[in-house]
A and B are shown apart, each in its own frame.
Chain A
Amino acid sequence: MSNDNPIIRITDVSKYFDTVAALTHVSLDIGQGEKVVIIGPSGSGKSTLLRTINRLEDISTGRIVVDGFDLDDKTVDINKVRMEVGMVFQSFNLFPHKTVLQNLTLAPIKLKGMSEKEADVMARQLLDKVGILEKADVFPAKLSGGQQQRVAIARALAMSPKIMLFDEPTSALDPEMIGEVLDVMVKLAREGMTMVCVTHEMGFAREVADRIVFMDEGQILEIATPAQFYTNPQHPRTQKFLEQIL
């Protein structure tokens, strides 16, 4: 991986909720185009770590640099950084008062000054890409969970981000809908998108990840390629975790 010039550089980051440590001394560099999957038991801080990358969570100590922008630098406009970093949530969080198409076009029109026509064309291409073009004009409440999540991915892509963050994107889905969402994510990975993904989908991790990060109790315990990770985990905690889930 081209880690000499990482697009995300997390250096010695700690994060406390009141006195409880959610992250302790976490460091991680992610290269351009790299796909990193973060795995760990619930409460391990993996979602918190992901959310610090676009500063949905503030950090207590340490430093995070995204695409050259230091997130703690007061002169950095965090909204500009966030426009480069797409995020997909566990609970989709589509805007229920907007149609599917409007969900995609709202941000490009208001934030990038895109014309309505341009945004419309672009949004329809993205909807086609995630296989849901025929639902462009319905409201999100009419869609299944899998469809909603695919729209959510398209909505994030509509800002043409350089990085995509996925926070357990399939955890709220019925089992039969997980596949359609993962397919979209695999497709995205193949196109070279930089992806950081918190997930429990081991098959996806094995297939797509360049590196797997294993976290527990707010710390990164192990970073390995999928092959190493699954066949020859180093840390005892990792071994135990893999025994339990595989």
Chain B
Amino acid sequence: MKHQGKCAVEEPQIIIDVGDGAAIPKPSDKGLVSAWRLSFAGALLVLGYLLVFHPDPYLRIFKFIPDGILITFQVTVCSIALALVFGLITGLGRISRNKYVNLVASTYVEIVRGVPLLVQLFYIYYALGRIVHVPDLLAAVLSMSVCYGAYMGEVFRAGILAIPTGQTEAARSLGFSRTQTMYYVVLPQAWRTILPPVGNEFIALLKDTSLVSILGVADLLRRGREFASESFLYFETFTMVAVVYLIITLVLSKLVSIMEERLSHHVKR
């Protein structure tokens, strides 16, 4: 097609496959003995076995950690919401035709990708701490969302670029502005391609929230460590913590795959 001539000035399309997709079961896995089912059943069995046959210490541990699970959930949900906002802004910034907006967004991504999350956590916590006193929980959520916002920005960017230019041209030719085109035509379609990698990011984020225990946030891992350091039952405690994380992660990945299926239900390209 000869209109592609103008691609000379456009960036080449890069499809980023974020995550190896291990966590989210594909719809085609249905009916099979899938890895997901095996892990989920296994995790529940182990949990049940430990609680029923070794209530001491496992039941004690199990009663000790729910506070932590709640905190882990709070950090995860808040971070996801904020990271989505950061991600969308970054993704739009990365494809912006405005040089400066583009530069700012790209720099943000480069910096965040170049610094380990753990270091970012410390940095935001202590750097912010010099100016204002930030509650631990807020510092944790901020760091997580700043970091994951950058990653999600790349996912959004790839998802938006994956929508054929014909869609944009059709919308523009009807009289939609650039912003309206993005909002009414491109993003609703991009969302479908974006969801699987974003889902993977959700799951990665959930697991990475365990890092915030370093900041003194009493999340699941922190509660486990508290229990272990009092009781010296390190193996038992961390077995329990690992199993609980696994169950939560598997449930989340199932939810994402259900959402994905719903979204792709009526529209097939």
- Taking Cβ atoms with an 8 Å cutoff, the residues of A that contact B are 17-18, 20, 22, 42-43, 47-48, 51, 54, 56-57, 79-80, 82-83, 85-87, 89-91, 93-97, 106-107, 110-111, 139, 141, 152, 155-156, 159
- Beyond A47-B3, A97-B267, whether A107 also contacts B175 by CB under 8 A is yes
Residue pair A43, B173 in contact (C-beta under 8 Å): no
Measured CB to CB, the closest approach of chain B to A87, in angstroms, equals: 4
Asked whether B267 lies within 8 Å of A17 as measured between CB atoms, the reply is: no
Which of A51, A57, A82, A91 is the one whose CB lies under 8 Å from B166? A91
Selected interface stretch from B184-192, B196-204, B210-218: B184-192
Asked whether B267 lies within 8 Å of A159 as measured between CB atoms, the reply is no
Taking the closest CB of chain B, its distance from the CB of A63, in whole angstroms, is: 21
The residue that A79 contacts in the complex, of B164, B177, B188, B266, with Cβ under 8 A, is B177
Residues on the B chain within 8 Å of A94, using CB? 170
Chain B nearest Cβ from A186, distance in angstroms: 22
* B2–A97 touching, CB < 8 Å: no
Query: When the two chains form their complex, are residues A159 and B169 in contact, meaning their CB atoms are under 8 A apart?
Result: no
Q: Are B267 and A85 in contact (CB under 8 A)?
A: no
**A96-B170 contact in complex given A17-B8, A80-B175, C-beta closer than 8 Å:** no
Given that A20-B5, A82-B173, A87-B173 are contacting pairs, would A96 and B184 also be in contact in the complex, using a CB cutoff of 8 Å? no
Residue of B nearest to A91 (CB): B166
Which residues of chain B from 160 to 188 have a CB within 8 Å of any chain A CB? 164, 166-167, 169-177, 180, 184-185, 188
Whether A82 and B6, one on each chain, are in contact in the complex, defined by CB atoms closer than 8 angstroms, is: no
Q: Which residues of A contact B1 (CB under 8 A)?
A: 90
Mask for B1-14, Cβ within 8 A of A = 1, else 0?
A: 11101101100000
Inter-subunit contact B2/A82 (CB<8 Å): no
Residues A89 and B172 in contact, CB atoms below 8 Å apart: no
Please determine whether A43 and B174 come into contact, CB atoms closer than 8 angstroms: no
Please indicate which of the listed interface residues A54, A93, A139 has the most CB atoms of chain B within 10 Å of its own CB: A93
| A139 in complex: contacting residue of B3, B172, B176, B267, CB < 8 Å | B267
Least CB distance from B136 to A in Å reads 42
- Chain B residues with Cβ below 8 Å from A89 are 166, 169-170
Chain A interface SS verdict (over half) = mixed
- Is B268 an interface position by the 8 A CB rule? yes
Contact at A96–B189, with CB atoms within 8 Å?
A: yes
Q: How far does the alpha carbon of A80 sit from the alpha carbon of B167 in the complex, in Å?
A: 19
Does B63 touch A at the CB level, under 8 Å?
A: no
Known interface pairs A83-B174, A97-B267; 20 further A-B residue pairs with C-beta atoms within 8 A, sorted by A's residue number: A42-B2, A48-B3, A51-B3, A54-B173, A56-B173, A79-B177, A80-B175, A86-B173, A89-B169, A93-B164, A93-B170, A96-B189, A97-B189, A97-B192, A111-B174, A139-B266, A141-B269, A152-B170, A156-B173, A159-B174
Given A17-B8, A22-B5, A141-B268, does the pair A95, B176 have CB atoms closer than 8 Å? no
Q: Which residues of A contact B266 (CB under 8 A)?
A: 139
Q: A114 to chain B: closest CB distance in Å?
A: 13
User: Once bound together, how far apart are the Cα atoms of A51 and B165, in whole Å?
Assistant: 14
Whether B174 and A56, one on each chain, are in contact in the complex, defined by CB atoms closer than 8 angstroms, is: no
User: Are B5's CB and A17's CB within 8 A?
Assistant: yes
How many chain B residues touch A (Cβ–Cβ < 8 Å)?
A: 29
The 10 A-B residue pairs whose C-beta atoms are closest, nearest first, are A83-B175, A93-B170, A87-B173, A93-B166, A107-B174, A82-B175, A17-B5, A79-B175, A97-B188, A111-B175
Check B173 against A85 for contact (C-beta < 8 Å).
yes
Q: Does A96 lie within 8 Å of B169, measured CB to CB?
A: no
CA–CA, A223 to B1, complex, Å? 25
CB-CB under 8 A from B3, the residues of chain A are 47-48, 51
A17 contacts across to B, CB distance below 8 A? 5-6, 8
| Chain A min CB distance to B116 (Å) | 39
Our pick among A43, A51, A79, A95 for the contact of B185 (Cβ within 8 Å) is A95
Chain B contacts for A152, CB-based, 8 A? 170
> Pick the contact of A141 from B8, B171, B267 — CB < 8 Å?
B267
Which of B175, B177, B180 makes the CB contact (< 8 A) with A159? Answer: B175
In the bound complex, residues from chain B placing their C-beta under 8 Å from that of A20 are 5
Q: Most chain-A CB neighbours within 10 Å: which of B1, B5, B170? A: B170
A42-B2, A43-B2, A82-B173 as given contacts; A93 in contact with B268, CB under 8 Å: no
What are 10 of the A-B contact pairs (CB < 8 Å)?
Answer: A48-B3, A56-B169, A82-B172, A82-B174, A87-B170, A89-B170, A91-B166, A93-B170, A106-B184, A107-B175
Inter-chain contacts of A93 with B (CB < 8 A): 164, 166-167, 169-170
Residue of A nearest to B188 (CB): A97
Residue of B nearest to A57 (CB): B6
- B5, B9, B167, B192: the one contacting A95 at CB < 8 Å is B167
A90 proximity list for chain B (CB < 8 A): 1
Task: Return A24 CB to nearest CB of chain B, in Å.
Answer: 15
